[in-house]
Amino acid sequence: MEAALFVLKGLLVPAYLAVLAAYGFAFFRQHGEADEAGRWPGKAALAIALGIHTALLVLLAVEYRRCPLWTQGEALLFLGWMLALLHLLSEWSADTRRLGFFTVLPAVLCAVPSLFLLGNELALSPQHRSSWFIFHIVASLASYAAFSLAAVLAALYLTQYAKLKRKHFDRTFRRLPPLDKLDKLAAVWSFLGTLLMIASSVIGAWWVRRDGLHGMSPQELGIFGVLAIFLMAALSRRTLGWRGRRHAIWVLAGFFALVFANLWLHGLLRL
């Protein structure tokens, strides 16, 4: 088991670097008919990397005899897996292979440092072994992945918007999707993240009430501020027509609030 884990950990980083190289080549070099032929190396490399990533999570679960979700390293590893999976779904449903270099990058940034933070020395209380708590954590991390993808798309939208305003039609401008498509994709993933965070909050509240636990700490309550921002982004888009640049700013504000809330929650930021 230890030998298999060692091999998978050693393969994960090169596999994701190959994914970035394949998507980077498709974005910066391919064009015309060559771009059509260049879609498959990225998909194949991502499928291999995702397979290695999945196998690593499964073996960690077997080795630890629990879901590998509790430590910072395990959470980052699972978050990277969710980000890669969401990109694959996005590419399959919306033909976003030209965005692969940008949308796979967060998965790499999560997966690589997670390997240095893994460890199985963890004693869990019976309450934290509850299936409800596991569902709560999975829904939370899935919402983080969706918000991260939405933030990348929002940042790309603002980049394209600025280039259009300056009439700076460089290679990056020509290769990225149109503004309307970036706006719609950011809205879809932002809304999905909002639904997942609501589900996580409901499951968490049910778990706390069911097991008779104490209420939430101020740091944990801070996550509802993040949810409020993304709800405002969705509602203002629907009722006030705040699309495009305004919606992208809302999404990025929500993402930075999410990062801030998690740094505060885990004691990496003190107020």
Choice between 74 and 130, residue whose per-residue pLDDT is larger? 74
pTM: 0.85
Q: Please tell me the predicted confidence (pLDDT) of residue 63.
A: 87
pLDDT tens, 83-135? Answer: 999 988 887 776 666 788 888 999 999 999 999 888 765 555 555 666 777 88
Asked if the model's pLDDT at residue 149 lies above 90, the reply is yes
Q: What is the pLDDT of residues 232-259, one digit of tens each?
A: 999 899 888 888 889 999 999 999 999 9
Confidence of residue 34 (pLDDT cuts 50, 70, 90): very low
Q: Cα(first)–Cα(last) distance of the chain, in Å?
A: 43
Q: What value does the mean pLDDT take over residues 166-189? A: 84
Q: Cα–Cα distances in Å, from 133 out to 67, 117, 210, 217, 218?
A: 11, 22, 11, 16, 19
User: 93: exposed, middle or buried (C-beta count within 10 Å: 0-12, 13-18, 19+)?
Assistant: exposed
Torsion sign across C-alpha atoms 237, 240, 243, 247? negative
For residues 137 and 128, the model is more confident at 137
The pLDDT mean for the chain works out to 83
